[in-house]
Amino acid sequence: MTTAPPALLTVPEVMTRLKYGRSKVYDLIRSKRLRSITEGRCRRIPESAVEEYIRTRLKEAA
């Protein structure tokens, strides 16, 4: 049995999901608050990293 590979999102897809601008998403990546990978010039963010970021922000807000 194989497991599905993690979904990798583009920066514009993350922008849409989080309702953030491009600069904010790159700031989160640069500050290591949002995990990402780079292959060549392509930046991808695992869907699990976006979910983790949201969970962290909710805990901080509580």
Q: What is the pTM of this model?
A: 0.85
Query: 14, 54 in Cβ contact below 8 A?
Result: no
Q: What is the pLDDT of residue 4?
A: 67
Residue 2 has, within 13 A of its CA and on its CB side, a CA count of: 3
Q: What is the pLDDT of residue 62?
A: 83
Q: How confident is the model at residue 1 (pLDDT cuts 50, 70, 90)?
A: low
Cβ count near 22 (within 10 Å): 11
Give pLDDT tens digits for 2-59. Answer: 676 779 999 999 999 999 999 999 999 999 999 999 999 999 999 999 999 999 999 9
